[in-house]
């Protein structure tokens, strides 16, 4: 077997042929002259064999590093003339047009970035993190260009914070397939309007029959406006969070009014009040019940909160509505301001809360997308810009499998 043939086999090159090779930089780099099989000259859009217009300058592509040896490809691409697509650079089987790295390096970068931080991936691949981020961004943009949302029936809208919690983005899910469809800067009406106007056709908007969002007016009104056929369900976890905050408000008020001794008695209560009835131990419940004597207001708020939990288990609309009305009356009677405010919230969103009984839809459906995103975010300890964050969202939870879209030809390594 000749050297060239051996090297072609070692590098697992399919659709390409090695013409020459040379070790450089104290044997740390292997520079390989390469050319497409059957002399190339194919249009990169339709694959048709075309006439050569001219030969462009020699270019290089960075390939993977094997056992510490960096592989670099060299080739002078031809400019060809396709009768349909006009003049363009010929198709190159090992890399995407305008890309400076090979498909298989792109594949490895994407696969690693899916499971670890970009810094860790960059360390393994021995390249600067910024270079890796750039490549990642270019690959994801290239793969997603022209991608359209399909078969959307159940929509979820939520806000997510990035950049150390100071900035917000709107994130749109397909709750049936539990994946992310779209990410946009901001959390206002203009952001969500942009999604409906730019990403969906009128037909697609009419096809949406269920939607879930938090209580933000921007989201609920946009869904009502753009998806007239959709039934809106207020996300359970946002509602529970609002109730927990109302209870905590009572605790804070009491805390402010108590002396040192009194404060000691309700220490650690914040965490306990936030717990659901199922996750509490008997001892916790006993302690909370003892508040009935020591702090009536907190006890009252807690009982109301605990009772509200029943709402989620109803399966008949009529009984759920009767329960909710009873609960609201009891909460109003408690004369606790924060509880009354919560009743106001319930009343304002009543028709979209009661729909939960018909379909228990929450944004946390499926694999808990938000949880995954939080892990991703923590792993990178906050993203500086949304672009960077969006890249990782699409890579890990997008509606399009980015890695699978990278051509298989030269991938095997
Ligand atoms: Zn063509």
Q: What percent of the chain has pLDDT over 90?
A: 37
Beta pairing class for 78-82 and 86-89: antiparallel
Q: Answer whether 348's CB lies under 8 Å from 225's CB.
A: no
Q: How far is the CA of 108 from the centre of ligand 1 (A)?
A: 29
Q: Count Cβ atoms below 10 Å from residue 245 Cβ, excluding itself.
A: 14
Calculate how far, in angstroms, residue 390's C-alpha sits from the geometric centre of ligand 1.
33
Highest mean pLDDT among 47-51, 308-312, 379-383, 387-391: 308-312
Mean pLDDT of 374-388: 71
CA 282 / ligand 1 centre spacing (Å): 73
- Please state, in angstroms and rounded to a whole number, the distance separating the CA atoms of residues 145 and 378: 28
Residues in a beta bridge with 5: none
For tokens 């021995």, name the residue. Answer: 126
**How far, in Å, from the CA of 99 to the mean position of ligand 1?**
19
Say how far apart CA 352 and CA 346 lie, in whole Å: 9
Summarised one tens digit per residue, pLDDT across range 77-93 is: 989 999 998 888 888 88
- Who wins on pLDDT, 221 or 389? 221
Query: How far apart are the CA of 91 and the centre of ligand 1, in A?
Result: 10
Write phi, then psi, for 216 (nearest 5 degrees): -60, 130
Average pLDDT over residues 380-384: 63
pTM above 0.85, yes or no: no
CA 301 – ligand 1 centroid, Å: 70
- Band of pLDDT at residue 382, cut at 50, 70 and 90: low
Tell me the CA–centroid distance for residue 406 and ligand 1, in Å: 20
Which of these ranges, 25-34, 53-62, 269-278, 291-300, has the smallest mean pLDDT?
269-278
257-271 confidence digits (pLDDT tens): 888 877 877 777 778
Distance 82 CA to ligand 1 centre (A): 5
Residue 409 has pLDDT above 70, yes or no: no
CB-based contact 133:388 (threshold 8 Å): yes
Taking a C-beta distance cutoff of 8 angstroms, is the pair 309, 278 a contact?
no
Separation CA 111–CA 320 (nearest Å): 47
How far does the centroid of ligand 1 lie from the alpha carbon of residue 78, in Å?
Answer: 14
Ligand 1 midpoint to CA 76 (Å): 20
The yes-or-no verdict on residue 314 having pLDDT over 50 is yes
Please give the distance, rounded to the nearest whole angstrom, from the Cα atom of residue 252 to the centre of ligand 1. 69
Q: How far is the CA of 136 from the centre of ligand 1 (A)?
A: 27
Q: Answer with the residue of higher pLDDT: 320 or 398.
A: 320
- Helix 317-333 crosses helix 350-358 at what angle (to 10 degrees)? 140
Rounded to the nearest angstrom, the distance between the alpha carbon of 98 and the centre of ligand 1 is 17
Instruction: Tokens for 16, please give them.
Output: 């390409």
């Amino acid at each position: 077997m000749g050297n060239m043939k051996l090297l072609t086999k070692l590098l697992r090159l399919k659709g390409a042929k090695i013409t020459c090779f040379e070790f450089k930089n104290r044997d740390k780099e292997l520079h390989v002259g390469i050319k497409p099989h059957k002399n190339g000259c194919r249009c990169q859009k339709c694959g048709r064999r075309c006439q050569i217009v001219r030969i462009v300058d020699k270019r290089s592509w960075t390939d993977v590093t094997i056992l510490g040896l960096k592989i670099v490809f060299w080739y002078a691409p031809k400019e060809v003339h396709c009768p349909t697509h006009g003049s363009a650079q010929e198709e190159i089987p090992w890399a995407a047009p305008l890309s400076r790295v090979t498909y298989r390096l792109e594949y490895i970068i994407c696969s690693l970035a899916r499971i670890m931080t970009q810094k860790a991936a960059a360390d393994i691949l021995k390249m600067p993190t910024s270079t890796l981020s750039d490549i990642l961004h270019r690959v994801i943009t290239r793969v997603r260009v022209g991608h359209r949302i399909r078969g959307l029936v159940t929509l979820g809208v939520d806000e997510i914070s990035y950049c150390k919690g100071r900035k917000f983005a709107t994130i749109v899910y397909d709750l049936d397939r539990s994946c992310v469809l779209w990410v946009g800067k901001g959390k206002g009406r203009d952001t969500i309007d942009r999604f409906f106007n730019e990403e969906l056709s009128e037909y697609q908007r009419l096809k949406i029959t269920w939607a879930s969002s938090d209580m933000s007016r921007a989201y609920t009104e946009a869904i009502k406006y753009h998806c007239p056929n959709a039934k809106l369900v207020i996300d359970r976890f946002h509602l529970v969070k609002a109730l927990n905050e109302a209870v905590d408000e009572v605790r804070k008020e009491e805390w402010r009014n108590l002396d040192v001794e009194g404060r000691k008695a309700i220490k650690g209560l914040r965490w306990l009040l936030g717990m659901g009835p199922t996750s509490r131990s008997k001892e916790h419940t006993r302690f909370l019940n003892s508040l009935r004597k020591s702090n009536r207001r907190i006890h009252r708020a807690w009982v109301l909160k605990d009772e509200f939990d029943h709402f989620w288990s109803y399966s008949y609309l009529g009984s759920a509505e009767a329960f909710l009305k009873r609960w609201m009356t009891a909460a109003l009677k408690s004369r606790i301001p924060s509880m009354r405010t919560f009743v106001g919230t319930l009343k304002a969103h009543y028709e979209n809360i009661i729909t939960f009984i018909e379909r228990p839809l929450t944004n946390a459906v499926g694999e808990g997308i938000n949880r995954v995103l939080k892990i991703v975010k923590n792993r990178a300890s906050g993203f500086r810009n949304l672009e960077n964050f969006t890249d990782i969202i699409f890579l890990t939870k997008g509606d399009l499998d980015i890695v699978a879209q990278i051509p298989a030809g030269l991938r095997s390594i």
